[in-house]
Amino acid sequence: MEPRRIIWKVYHTISLLHTGRLFRHIHWRGDMDIAPIFGVIITTPSHPPPTLVFWRTPPVGSYKINTDGCVNDGFASGRGIIRDSSGQCIRAFFSFYGDCTILEAELRAILDGIILAQRLGLSVLWVESDSTLAIHCITKGGGPWHIQATIRHIRHLLALDRDTITHIYREGNQVADLLASEGWDRRCYHEYSSQDLPRRHRSLVQIDRFGLPTVRGL
């Protein structure tokens, strides 16, 4: 129990922990000024700067479907909105899916949006979702067995040489995201026309129409 030996063991142990990435920058909070004594260089992690996210109108003669899925307390719901080339709402919907995964909810919301658009006689579709995994499963394949039937149904309805499916950040998918609580609370399928869309949703539709951005990364 010699002082020098204790100091050396503490120094050695801290150095090992840091080298093994078990002693991280957050553990030095309040003591960063003594870190160099132990040979530890503290660097402040960099964060990407905030970016502006825009919702884009589809080309003239086509229609955009924005969808979203969510799971809350073990139950899933989906929602979406269909808009024309001027950004006007054609129809919005929400649906309750019960017990399923978030990926399945995202895919089923996409499928519900496409089925609704085709029932309304709309063609040349641009589907947007904030789920990169769902888009990858549709365009590239893969995923667990229990979603394959849904993926096949989506591919059957979409003409990928004519229709488009892309990713959008959640900040640009606000209208679909806002419909989430409706499906989960009511636990049913429901559609809104442009006239009976709730006031807050109409406000977000107008924000998108005017090309106003939302900020990502704050």
Q: Are strands 214-216 and 51-53 parallel, antiparallel or unpaired?
A: antiparallel
Residue with tokens 């003669």: 61
pLDDT class of 184 with cuts at 50, 70, 90: low
What does the DSSP 8-state code read for residue 56? P
CB 215: neighbour CB atoms within 10 A?
Answer: 10
What's the longest Cα–Cα distance across the chain? 85
d(CA 148, CA 138): 9
- 70: closest CA among 114, 102, 33, 95? 102
pTM exceeds cut of 0.85: no
The amino acid that residue 183 corresponds to is G
pLDDT class of 69 with cuts at 50, 70, 90: very high
Q: What is the pLDDT averaged over residues 166-178?
A: 91
pLDDT class of 83 with cuts at 50, 70, 90: very high
Asked if 174 contacts 204 with a C-beta cutoff of 8 angstroms, the reply is yes
pLDDT in tens, 100-157: 999 999 999 999 999 999 999 998 999 999 999 999 999 998 888 989 999 999 999 9
